[in-house]
Structure 1
Amino acid sequence: MRRFAEIEDLSELVRDALGAGHRVVAVDRLRGGTKKGVYRVRLDGPRTESVIVYSWAEDENFWPSRRTEDPADPFAPASGMVPFLAAQRALHSLGVRVPQVLLADDSRRRYPADVAVIEDVTGGTLEALFETDPERASGALHDLAEMLGVMHRSPARNYGSVYLLERGDGVSEVSCERRVLDRALEDLKEAAGRDGSIAAAEAALHDRLRELAERVSPRTEYGLVHGELGPDHVLVDTDGRPVMIDIEDLMYFDVEWEHVFLRLRFHERYAVLDRPGLDPRRLDLYMLAMRLSLVAGPLRLLDGDFPDRAFMQGIADHNAKQALALLPSV
């Protein structure tokens, strides 16, 4: 049985982050996390009413273990305090708004896992704001487009996870498009073993992936991408500014990978985030690869005890249909 944090577990940690004048009065574990625990800690004390605590305890990670052959693979799971802090530094240096880190601790003296106490951005998600305050959401969306422009124009000689490149590791000789193709073929095989509709079209999907990859020309220009940026991963602060969260997978990569995900998650609002000069051939390959990833990933998660099972099954089912729709008509 998984054990999650309670008031007595986090009181010392929060007191050290904010000072002795703050007392923890409630702890709420927020829904949705699959790799880390996210807790809103409510306080009785001056000025600060609440903070967020990230916990990278083993019990907070719902993903089944998966062996990664290549340590330079930017798609290898990036979870933990080190990737988080590296991403936070990289984004902050570019002027991209991220929650302020109040304390980060990997000593295991205050808590038996890596933990971070961060600013609680209380304005809600951009996704919710689209429904409750469209005018405010529109301003935040345009600001987000500017932030993404800064990130995507931030050049790097090599692609890979920010935290690995920061320490001089993770440089790969494999091209981005080859990396995506190899991952997509693995996802296809895995999805076909779990989803009957994908299994029936496995050969056609395999051939289509190969065909799309052959059309892509070499390139060595990489930008900084979040990798999984939906409107639920953007908070809005009291000044109306967008704030990026769930940043551990930050990496230098083809910006088309980011734009494919933005298209999927922002739908008709993506037009604000679009930019000229994207490679249409990369977009075609990456879209099919992304759809297959969003079939295999959720189904893999359901091999374990992730609680919101209907939600994950719905993601897999939807993306299986969309992947099949990308096959050329006969």
Structure 2
Amino acid sequence: MSREPHTRLARALTALLQDPRPVTGVQRLRGGSKKGVYRLTLDHTDTVIAYLWHSTEDYWHPGAAHSQDPADPFSHASGPHLFTAAHRALTDLGVRVPRLLAHDTTGTHHPGAIALVQDVPGPTLEELLERDPAAAAPVLDRLGAFLRTMHATTHPGFGKVHHLTTGGRPHAPSCEQTVLDRALADLDEAAARDARLHPHHARLTSALHTLAHRITPRREHVLIHGELGPDHVLVDTDGTPVLIDIEGMMFFDAEWEHSFLRLRFGEHHPRLRTRTPDPHRSALYDLAMHLSLVAGPLRLLEGDYPDRAFMLSIAEHHLARALQTTA
């Protein structure tokens, strides 16, 4: 980031927070493929996190995003409206998120939209699990309590929080149909980019339809984060988990959340259990998740995402898992 964007960020912070102290440091943080995340230091002491939503901060160029339709629960999860709706919903439930200090969507203070949030000083839960699993155990238990609160919050519709709270409705008839349609598209896209899938395309297509056919319809959906890995949880000084990257939060099936939690938390997943899962739904969602994590990284790598080796490793791992699946 050049000096001029640094200056714009500093001016935006001063205006939005009405804080006259000089901004003495601007650091772009790792992660965040859909928005820019920056730590701003004021007067060499206090820090604030800035989220920037702008095309120059989004590695998912229009061709790489799965969908732009707000009625699609899996559409591109980026934008200040998604963030503020999710932040409000979690705050109302007592689920810890970084405190929202100010935000602006007019472009007056910075190109695109900007939100200023509390800088939580602790490590990520991923870092804590690697460094001190014993210290991470009570944090996992508190995270599990947050998830049970979220999964006890229900809605008759399904989709992103902002879409539903502004009167929107899904186009698809059910969560399982949404997942099936997306998984079939992911399979097609992944096969177009990796020839190793060609001999398995028909078998995996049949497996997806077979697994979907076994599912009993459901009329109630729960609040889920949607992409809750230990890298999306900060730990504050009191040992409380703090959820970040919340723009994809939606009402959906708990089984979709747990498919991702099992992948990311592994042996620690039992501490995060909530509702009793439907095994048929879980089987479909597990395969769909693997296919998504093949197609998504390969799509992203068609752009200029910097950590290419990491994305390739994700695609390789989930390709192997998908090919092991039988219906």
Same fold (TM over 0.5): yes
Between the aligned partners of 2:171 and 2:231, the Cα distance in structure 1 is 31
Return 5+ residue gaps in structure 2 as ranges: none
Deviates more, 1:61-70 or 1:291-300: 61-70
CA deviations on 1:132-155 (whole Å, 9 max, x unpaired) are: 232331111100000000001101
Give the corresponding residue for 1:249: 248
Give the corresponding residue for 1:65: 62
Report SS of the residue matched to 2:155: coil
Q: How is 1:247-286 mapped onto 2 (pairs within 5 angstroms)? A: 247-286=246-285
**Does 2:27 correspond to 1:22?**
no
How far apart are residue 275 of structure 1 and its match?
3.3
Q: How is 1:197-216 mapped onto 2 (pairs within 5 angstroms)? A: 197-216=196-215
Return 5+ residue gaps in structure 1 as ranges: none
Between the aligned partners of 1:185 and 1:99, the Cα distance in structure 2 is 36
Give the corresponding residue for 1:49: 46
C-alpha contact (below 8 Å) 1:71/1:170 kept by paired residues: no
CA deviations on 1:270-327 (whole Å, 9 max, x unpaired) are: 0111235210000000000000000000000001111111110110011000111113
Are residues 304 and 15 of structure 1, via their aligned partners in 2, closer, same or farther at CA, if it must alter by over 3 Å? same
C-alpha contact (below 8 Å) 1:101/1:119 kept by paired residues: yes
C-alpha contact (below 8 Å) 2:14/2:21 kept by paired residues: yes
Are residues 69 and 20 of structure 1, via their aligned partners in 2, closer, same or farther at CA, if it must alter by over 3 Å? closer
C-alpha contact (below 8 Å) 1:97/1:242 kept by paired residues: yes
CA deviations on 1:222-280 (whole Å, 9 max, x unpaired) are: 00000000000000111110000000010000110000000000000001112352100
Query: Please, what is the CA RMSD of the aligned residues?
Result: 1.7
Are residues 303 and 59 of structure 1, via their aligned partners in 2, closer, same or farther at CA, if it must alter by over 3 Å? same
AA of the residue aligned to 1:78? A
Report SS of the residue matched to 1:102: strand
Deviates more, 1:279-288 or 1:66-75: 66-75
Give the corresponding residue for 1:119: 118
How far apart are residue 160 of structure 1 and its match?
0.8
Give the corresponding residue for 1:294: 293
Overall identity of the aligned pairs, in %? 50
TM-score with structure 1 setting the length: 0.94
How far apart are residue 53 of structure 1 and its match?
0.3
How far apart are residue 100 of structure 1 and its match?
0.5
Give the corresponding residue for 2:93: 94
Deviates more, 1:249-258 or 1:69-78: 69-78
How far apart are residue 70 of structure 1 and its match?
5.0
How far apart are residue 16 of structure 1 and its match?
2.8
Between the aligned partners of 1:251 and 1:5, the Cα distance in structure 2 is 37
Between the aligned partners of 1:36 and 1:65, the Cα distance in structure 2 is 14
Report SS of the residue matched to 2:101: strand
Report SS of the residue matched to 2:193: coil
Report SS of the residue matched to 1:307: coil
C-alpha contact (below 8 Å) 1:83/1:163 kept by paired residues: yes
CA deviations on 1:44-80 (whole Å, 9 max, x unpaired) are: 16xx621100000111111131474854111111211
AA of the residue aligned to 1:248? E
Count of aligned residue pairs for this structure pair:
325
Give the corresponding residue for 1:135: 134
AA of the residue aligned to 2:287? L
Between the aligned partners of 1:68 and 1:40, the Cα distance in structure 2 is 30
Between the aligned partners of 2:111 and 2:48, the Cα distance in structure 1 is 19
How far apart are residue 19 of structure 1 and its match?
3.5
AA of the residue aligned to 2:19? A
Between the aligned partners of 1:152 and 1:59, the Cα distance in structure 2 is 35
C-alpha contact (below 8 Å) 1:234/1:243 kept by paired residues: yes
Report SS of the residue matched to 1:193: helix
How far apart are residue 3 of structure 1 and its match?
7.3
Deviates more, 1:6-15 or 1:153-162: 6-15
C-alpha contact (below 8 Å) 2:147/2:274 kept by paired residues: no
How far apart are residue 32 of structure 1 and its match?
1.4
Give the corresponding residue for 1:160: 159
Report SS of the residue matched to 1:9: helix
Deviates more, 1:133-142 or 1:67-76: 67-76
Between the aligned partners of 2:83 and 2:68, the Cα distance in structure 1 is 23
Are residues 19 and 276 of structure 1, via their aligned partners in 2, closer, same or farther at CA, if it must alter by over 3 Å? closer
Between the aligned partners of 2:103 and 2:69, the Cα distance in structure 1 is 28
